[in-house]
Structure 1
Amino acid sequence: MARRRKGRPITGWMVIDKPAGITSSAVVNKVRWALEAQKAGHAGTLDPDATGLLVVALGEATKALSALTDALKTYEFTVNWGAATSTDDASGEVLEQCEARPSEADVRAMLPDFTGDIMQVPPQVSAVKVDGQRAYDLAREGEVMELAARPLFVETLELVSASRDQVTLRMTCGKGGYVRSIARDMGAALGCLGHVQHLRRVETGHWTEADAVPFSRIEELERTPALDALVRPLVDGLAILPECRCSTAGGHALRHGNPGEMLECQAGTGELAFASVDGAPVAIGEAVAGQFHPKRVFVFADT
């Protein structure tokens, strides 16, 4: 007999404004505990020192996490010139210093080199796996690794402000971007060295700072109906995907893992989308030849 999962079967999303000094996993665990939820996960890690939007999925919403993780995210970050650190941010040990400083014109001229499809080497202190171990664990043991460069799509990289010793940038990028690597590599290219001083995620997918709940509110409202009221419905997080509206019979087929008849579809052939019946999400999958083929099916107690 299958073991029953502890907690309440809550499904939906919470967009948390993560403070500095706490890990993304700790935020997820706190939200899950505060809601007494059976299951929770997040759509993209933020470093402990970073702040900003952390999307927490609850219950059946965790089945859509890959779509949210792949969504574009926007960061605002401050880069200090003149020093390279072991972590590529201000928390690390200073490895090298430099007196040279770039002009604002030099910085602006460099931005196109870090825009579009680029290759990026992750920081030594990152979650990348090396021979089955996390790079940050090996780095703590004093090991210096040769990490392979990885592709990254940077949609935009803009200069927000500049002074002699630092700049503030705004970047929108795809999955797997390391802001610390941008600071490190830009500092090296400009001949002045650089590392991240402050980092904040201001957008993730279609959600912005205006949608975020301060983490302190989770602690204030834990285990109360007022906290339940802050959970966004499942369909809110699926708004980044095209919708395919299915018939009642089609929805029945989908719930059993079979292709279902569509009435209307916004997705192109083979494009990731979500299926709905009378406005309620049923599955994630793709449209092929007039039918919706499910990859993940949302299961609720009353279906």
Structure 2
Amino acid sequence: MGRKKGRDVSGWLLIDKPAGVGSTDVVGRVRWALDAKKAGHAGTLDPDATGLLAVALGEATKTVPYLTDALKAYDFTVAWGAETTTDDAAGAVTRTADARPSAEQIEAALAAFRGDIRQVPPAVSAVRVDGARAYDLAREGETVELAARPLWVEELSLTDAREGGADFHMVCGKGGYVRSIARDLGRALGCLGHVATLRRVWSGPFEVAEALSFDLVDRANQPALDAALLPVQAALDLPQLRATDQGAVRLANGNPGQVLGTADYGAEVWVSHHGRAIAVGRYMGGEVHPSRVFVQPG
């Protein structure tokens, strides 16, 4: 088998994911539409969820951890009265309750879900258990006992309440499951609950308002997709320094290289040369010691 051919496309493409398609499928379609050699994404969205999916192409895949670690925001609706196997509307109902909370009761319960919390991921999730994905074990009928994990919840607010459910806005850190919030909030209120709709509105520096419709990807409109590509450094919330010509050569080979401008000693920075990102590394008095090097044609 020969090497997979494709274009050396590097950058970020923001997609507004529709319901009913998986995150991995979106990445595959983007890669196919752009004829790109390499693609990945930062932060899975459930198949029924919509909103921002940031697809990294080529050298941008090296910056995915920076976006994974960034804060993300979601708008979601919780339906009261039932828990499901998946903690969303796609699952089978496992138990029901007749109680319905008032807006005041919901507001009072939210305090326990802000700041540093611990949450147990849904049984149907991409969390690994002894090397296997939790959702694969759940499909095979195994009872999956997942450990609680820490989550930073920057903001959780009630935006609308009615008898059968409520709307919320949440900003959280890495590894948050909105479905777990819905499940645990329903339990805390004694009414049970699951996610009815979920939309990611922003992730780090990227906003869904700037994202392309998935239809455009499906039509494989390559010029339009090329024009929408954001640069490799778009996901980096780091200071920028410029490499000297000699420094650029050294950095490209993975060696410390001379830069213009200054940053705090030991600070993580990204380095450009003629406007292109060439490396991320630590600033050490006039030089940057690279941790990641970007190989971009041109």
Whether these two folds match at TM > 0.5 is: yes
Asked if 1:255 is matched to 2:258, the reply is no
Asked if 1:264 is matched to 2:261, the reply is yes
Match of 2:92 in 1: 93
How do residues 174-213 of structure 1 correspond to structure 2 at under 5 angstroms? 174-213=173-212
1:231-251 per-residue CA deviation (whole Å, 9 max, x = no partner) reads 22223333x233233322222
Choose 247-256 or 194-203, whichever is displaced more: 247-256
Which residue, out of 223, 241, 245, partners 1:244?
Answer: 241
1:186-243 per-residue CA deviation (whole Å, 9 max, x = no partner) reads 11111111110000000011111221000011122x15323322222223333x2332
Q: Secondary structure at the match of 1:148?
A: coil
Contact 1:249 1:261 survives alignment (8 Å): yes
Deviation at 1:175, TM superposition (A): 1.1
Match of 2:292 in 1: 296
RMSD over aligned Cα atoms: 1.7
Match of 1:152 in 2: 151
Identity %: 57
Measure, in 2, the Cα distance between the counterparts of 1:97 and 1:120.
Answer: 22
Which residue, out of 275, 278, 286, partners 2:271?
Answer: 275
Measure, in 2, the Cα distance between the counterparts of 1:227 and 1:50.
Answer: 23
Query: TM-score scaled by structure 2?
Result: 0.95
Amino acid at match of 2:128: K
Contact 1:243 1:265 survives alignment (8 Å): no
Contact 2:10 2:57 survives alignment (8 Å): yes
Q: Secondary structure at the match of 1:38?
A: coil
Contact 1:100 1:192 survives alignment (8 Å): yes
Decide whether aligned partners of structure 1 residues 208 and 223 sit closer, same or farther in structure 2, where only a CA change above 3 A counts. Answer: closer
How do residues 1-303 of structure 1 correspond to structure 2 at under 5 angstroms? 4-220=3-219, 222=220, 224-238=222-236, 240-266=237-263, 268-302=264-298
Q: Secondary structure at the match of 1:147?
A: coil
Q: Secondary structure at the match of 1:229?
A: helix
Q: Secondary structure at the match of 1:295?
A: strand
Decide whether aligned partners of structure 1 residues 265 and 116 sit closer, same or farther in structure 2, where only a CA change above 3 A counts. Answer: farther
1:118-165 per-residue CA deviation (whole Å, 9 max, x = no partner) reads 111000000111111111011111111110011111111111111122
Q: Which runs of 5+ in 1 are unaligned?
A: none
Deviation at 1:4, TM superposition (A): 4.5
Q: Which runs of 5+ in 2 are unaligned?
A: none
Contact 2:52 2:203 survives alignment (8 Å): yes
Deviation at 1:108, TM superposition (A): 1.1
Query: TM-score scaled by structure 1?
Result: 0.93
- Between the two proteins, the alignment pairs up a number of residues equal to 298
